[in-house]
């Protein structure tokens, strides 16, 4: 919390104790879950900002044998058309991983851009980044669960963000800093027909860069994220 602005820490402290969850499977134990939040700051006419929790994602702690783990994840190339247009953003992929560890189906659930443009321009830019990501993601391979309650599932659904960022020629690559404010231009959200209602309780773009999130249905948030 010392790396975050005080109003953000206060917002989280006020909201989270009032959240309520549903467990997909009965448990006699305390459920240990990691959590990622996206906090949104919106500029107001009086010069101040309003803060809200825009999205949340939960990831239960499990043994590695019970999780989907990436094995061969070749990074997608940066589309030349996107480079020429100086387009950057993040593609949030939704993948259906089969029992053979291969991606049987994939969709770009959401594409967030880092710059504004006309609606037509942004639509084209989202498609450029999404198409490049999907082309490579369908060749990825994973290690699937060999133990735990989901080991016998016919397939697993995972989310992965693919981040595209252009540096100027005089810039060195820069890693994201925890708690740093970023421009937020969310794209429309789509849901694959093979994904169930678990998706609706989590935000795709609450995932941090480089994360792999398995939709195991462990925790579902019942209350609103910004309210209590």
Surface-to-core class of residue 183, CB atoms within 10 Å of its CB (0-12 exposed, 13-18 middle, 19+ buried): exposed
Instruction: Tell me what the pLDDT averaged over the chain comes to.
Output: 87
From 26-30, 48-52, 76-80, the region with the lowest mean pLDDT? 26-30
From 102-111, 168-177, 206-215, the region with the lowest mean pLDDT? 168-177
Q: Look at residue 31 in the predicted model and tell me its pLDDT.
A: 79
Coil/strand/helix, residue 52:
strand
Q: Which residue has the higher pLDDT, 111 or 196?
A: 111
- In which region does residue 179 sit, left (phi positive, over 0), alpha (psi from -120 to 50) or beta (all else)? left
Predicted TM-score (pTM) of the model is: 0.88
Instruction: Indicate whether 40 pLDDT > 90.
Output: yes
What is the share, in percent, of the chain residues with pLDDT greater than 70? 89
**Which of the four pLDDT bands, split at 50, 70 and 90, describes residue 227?**
very low
Q: Look at residue 189 in the predicted model and tell me its pLDDT.
A: 92
**Which of the four pLDDT bands, split at 50, 70 and 90, describes residue 216?**
low
Q: Report the distance separating Cα 16 and Cα 35, nearest Å.
A: 11
Q: Look at residue 228 in the predicted model and tell me its pLDDT.
A: 39
Q: Report the distance separating Cα 51 and Cα 15, nearest Å.
A: 12
Q: Look at residue 168 in the predicted model and tell me its pLDDT.
A: 66
């Amino acid at each position: 919390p010392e790396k975050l602005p005080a109003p953000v820490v206060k917002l989280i402290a006020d909201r989270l104790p009032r959240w309520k969850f549903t467990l997909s499977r009965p448990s006699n134990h305390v459920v240990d879950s990691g959590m990622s939040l996206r906090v949104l700051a919106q500029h107001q006419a009086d010069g101040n900002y309003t803060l809200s929790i825009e999205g949340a994602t939960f990831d239960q702690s499990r043994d590695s044998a019970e999780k989907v783990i990436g094995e061969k994840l070749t990074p997608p190339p940066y589309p030349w058309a996107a480079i020429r247009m100086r387009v950057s953003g993040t593609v949030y992929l939704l993948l259906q991983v089969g029992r053979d560890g291969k991606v049987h189906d994939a969709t770009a659930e959401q594409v967030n851009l880092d710059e504004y443009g006309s609606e037509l321009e942004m639509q084209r830019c989202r498609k450029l980044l999404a198409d490049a990501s999907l082309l490579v993601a369908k060749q990825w391979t994973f290690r699937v669960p060999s133990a735990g309650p989901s080991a016998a599932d016919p397939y697993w659904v995972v989310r992965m963000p693919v981040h595209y960022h252009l540096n100027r020629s005089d810039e060195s690559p820069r890693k994201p800093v925890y708690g740093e404010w970023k421009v937020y231009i969310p794209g429309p959200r789509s849901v694959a027909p093979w994904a169930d209602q678990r998706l609706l309780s989590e935000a795709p773009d609450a995932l941090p860069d480089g994360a792999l999130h398995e939709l195991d249905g462990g925790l579902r948030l019942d209350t609103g994220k910004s309210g209590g």
